[in-house]
Amino acid sequence: MTDSYRRSGDEMPQDRPYAYGDDDHGHNGHGQYGYGQAVPPPPSYTPGTPGMPGPAPHEPRRTVRRPIALIAAVALASGLIGGGSAALLAGATRHVQQDSAGTPLVNAGKTSGSGVSGVAKAVSPAIVEIKSRTASGESTGSGVVLTGNGEIVTNNHVVAGARTVRVTFSDGSRKTAKVVGTDPDKDLALIKVNGAKGLTHATLGDSDKIAVGDGVVAIGSPEGLTGSVTSGIVSALNRDVTVPKDEGQGQQGDPGDRGGWPFEFGGNQYNGDTGSSKTSYKAIQTDASLNPGNSGGALINMQGQIIGINSAMYSPSSASSSTAGSVGLGFAIPINTVKADLDSLRGGGSGGGNSGV
């Protein structure tokens, strides 16, 4: 801003007559006002009036418009850059998801496709039915696909002593598999589908982070009903469950076995005799319904992650097929136990491997 009064010794500007009045008010005869005289009030005419001195009215407005135009241009450029960045990030996310063959994580808080239905839709393609034929008959169980090239984890008692192993996928297709390794002490086994590639595989969770009361979903093939889904909660943790590890002992599907896999808990036997060769492990207890054929299938949290491999169940009676079934006492091997044993299973396991055709 300019000063309101003329400084001592300064000459008044000669090119702004409208700002200082005309020659009729205090003019000294030389186009200037004398020392100490106040600056006269502004003229009565509007600057820029035709015939009068001063800049055109549009010039001050042009000075105002320039920064506005500049700000608008910067805002527009920023918007384009921001939009481009968002599009790039979205594209990268889609690319990663398309390249992944794993089951997607499920947001149970969504208003659509959430809860049990969302988990079932996401994980079912990674759960298979397993039929293994032994010298004493045929055993039916379930399995969880771990890798796109056909590695599948299941219970040892599902494939123990198997001569042939056949896998049925959720889309109905069937393939043969071989037993890679077994661990009778943990009731785990690893099989591999012959010539498989690009299979949808499961996402493994962290069983150390689950809590009693957490919602869970079980998927398997009870009584050969492939892809059956049940749900419930984690009802207890670290149950000391004892199961047999002799091959052929209590195989699901064996003639006369209608009560499910025999197991011991608290010194008592359930669903038949566990035999003399047995093993114990810390299990997740769930009230999600498990039935013969669920063994080796998945226990899943509400984010679509595998937290356990279903392995045992209690049935109220092993004598009558009409009363046999789940009463809400099922047990699963924690998935962290499985992850810790994978390298050993890939190398044949503590029980060695045998080749299903």
Q: What are phi and psi of 90, to 5 degrees?
A: -65, -40
Q: How far apart are CA 288 and CA 231, in angstroms?
A: 5
Per-residue model confidence as pLDDT tens digits over 79-114: 444 443 333 333 333 333 334 467 777 654 443 456
237 vs 324, which has greater pLDDT?
A: 237
Nearest to 246 by CA among 134, 129, 325: 134
Whether residue 57 has pLDDT greater than 70: no
The pLDDT of residue 280 is above 70: yes
Give rounded-to-5 percent helix, strand, coil for the chain: 20, 30, 50
Residue from 187, 257, 287, 341 carrying the catalytic annotation: 187
| Tokens 């696909």 -> residue | 145
Q: Which residue is catalytic, options 139, 157, 201, 207?
A: 157
Residue type present at position 344: S
Structure tokens at 206: 């962290």
Neighbouring CB atoms inside 10 A of 333's CB total 27
pLDDT at position 59 over 80: no
Pairing mode of beta strands 164-168, 203-204: unpaired
Both tokens of 98, joined, read 């398309």
Tokens linked to 218:
């079980």
φ, ψ at 91 (rounded to 5°): -65, -40
Catalytic residue among 228, 231, 235, 295: 295
Whole-angstrom Cα distance, residue 342 to residue 268? Answer: 31
Residue 293 structure tokens: 């054929």
Q: Residue 68, Cβ neighbours under 10 Å: how many? A: 9
Which residues are CB-neighbours of 163 under 8 A, at least 6 positions away?
132, 133, 134, 135, 356, 357
Q: Which DSSP string corresponds to 233-260?
A: EEEEEEEEEEEE-STTTT-TT-TT--S-
Render pLDDT for 120-156 as a digit per residue (tens, 0 to 9). 999 999 999 999 998 888 889 999 999 999 999 999 9
Please give the Cα distance from 300 to 331 (Å, whole number). 13
**Token couple for 288:** 């999600």
Residue 295 annotated among the catalytic residues of the structure: yes
Can you tell me the distance from the alpha carbon of 40 to that of 219, in angstroms, rounded to the nearest whole number? 95
Q: Mean pLDDT, to the nearest integer, of 239-252?
A: 67
CA angle 109, 238, 140 (to 5 degrees): 80
Q: Is 187 a catalytic residue?
A: yes
pLDDT, tens digit (0-9, with 9 covering 90-100), for 322-340: 455 667 889 999 999 999 9
Query: What is the per-residue pLDDT for 352?
Result: 66
Q: What is the mean pLDDT of residues 295-302?
A: 96
pLDDT (0 to 100) of residue 318: 47
